[in-house]
Structure 1
Amino acid sequence: MSVFDLHKRVFSEYREFVRSFVRVADERLRAYVEERILGEAGELWPEPLVQLSPAYEPGETVDELAKMDVLHEDTARIFRKADGAPFRLYRHQVEAIRRAREGRSYVLTSGTGSGKSFAYFIPIVDLVVRNPGIRGPVAIVVYPMNALVNSQLHALEELRKRYEDRYGEGSFPVRFARYTGQTDEDERRRLREDPPPPPPHQLRHGGVPPHPPRGPEPGVPPSLGGPLLPGL
């Protein structure tokens, strides 16, 4: 059987499966369904959609942004690939990060896989590492589905694991948590009573802190730690 025969057979069997439980009493509606939906030229499934993924314009790496003081050096240490290489960002990500650093609002719209999450997670993390001891939560990130929350939680956990593999367990400078319908009541209560602040400043990188402890930067509210990830 060729792939084309298989394709035709699968469609035919699916059409018969749907027809087996579709019962339309009205003759005119039944004729319409048979012709326009269940027929050979019907619309039971959409035509295939083939499109090219756009190429997004590259920008600086997180290390290059750290050298320009757009990002803190510890932020650049967090956002790295599995092999330790710094992430190279897209231009729209860099523009969003610069706006956040300037305290300006922004709306980012771009395609799937364009790294929109980095455009807000990097500024959140950067705020935390620049202000050791700041009270949390610094940010609440809202997603429309639990699946997206779980995906982003996994990505943050992976960044934490890579960081702690390099600099030691417990060295990750940001705390984060998930708060959704999948969070049990005990954990919800704990998060309400003790939202995620950053951990206390620790010695790391061979016992030498990358930067000395210091107070919040000017303009940062003292009542602001890490992100909570709630789903609707």
Structure 2
Amino acid sequence: MDAFKTHENVISDYKSYLKSFINISDERILDFVNNSTLIKNILPEPLIQFNPSFEKGDSFEDLINDNIVHPNLSKALVSYRLYKHQVEAIKIGVKNQGFIVTSGTGSGKSLTFFSHYF
């Protein structure tokens, strides 16, 4: 199995699926939709990193001191140093807003899912 060919086929099939919903008579608009929007740029190019270094963010203690998370977290996580993307996600999540975290393996994405409980 060729992973790159499979990826290409999945993207191609998905673009065809999206195009099946489009019925635009004006050629200029159709050209724009087909070449300049989501149809053409459905996914960004893959980012491949080796040994990524994630930018450090605040600690839970900092978030507790700023009244962002509940003080009881200090009992379990006070010395835990977060990555910047985790802090950003937690600050959004505690406001009950949606977010998406896209980060590499080992970056602590799972921790951000708990922000609803912070």
In which range does the TM-score fall when normalised by the shorter chain?
0.5 to 0.7
Give the TM-score normalised by structure 1: 0.29
Structure 1 ranges of 4+ moved more than 3 A: none
Corresponding residue for residue 18 of structure 2: none
Aligned pair count?
70
| Closer/same/farther in 2, CA of residues 114 and 89 from structure 1, 3 Å limit | same
Corresponding residue for residue 79 of structure 1: 77
The yes-or-no answer on 1:110 pairing with 2:108 is no
**C-alpha deviation, 1:120, in angstroms:** 1.2
The yes-or-no answer on 1:125 pairing with 2:97 is no
The CA distance in 1 between the partners of 2:83 and 2:51, in whole Å, is 15
Q: Of residues 82, 89, 92 in structure 2, which corresponds to 1:89?
A: 82
Whether contact under 8 Å (1:70, 1:98) holds in the other structure is yes
Q: Which has the larger radius of gyration?
A: 1
Q: Which has the higher contact order (CA 8 A, sep 6+)?
A: 1
The CA distance in 1 between the partners of 2:88 and 2:74, in whole Å, is 16
Q: Which amino acid aligns with 2:63?
A: L
Deviations 1:96-115 (A, max 9, x none): 00001111100111100000
Q: 3-state DSSP class of the match of 1:107? A: coil
Q: Of residues 66, 69, 79 in structure 1, which corresponds to 2:67?
A: 69
The 5 A counterparts of 1:139-150 are none
The sequence identity of aligned pairs, in percent, is 36
Q: Of residues 52, 55, 80 in structure 1, which corresponds to 2:53?
A: 55
The CA distance in 2 between the partners of 1:125 and 1:109, in whole Å, is 20
The CA distance in 2 between the partners of 1:77 and 1:124, in whole Å, is 18
The CA distance in 2 between the partners of 1:54 and 1:93, in whole Å, is 15
Q: Which runs of 5+ in 1 are unaligned?
A: 1-50, 81-85, 127-232
The 5 A counterparts of 1:38-53 are 52-53=50-51
| Closer/same/farther in 2, CA of residues 103 and 125 from structure 1, 3 Å limit | closer
**C-alpha deviation, 1:76, in angstroms:** 2.8
**C-alpha deviation, 1:79, in angstroms:** 2.2
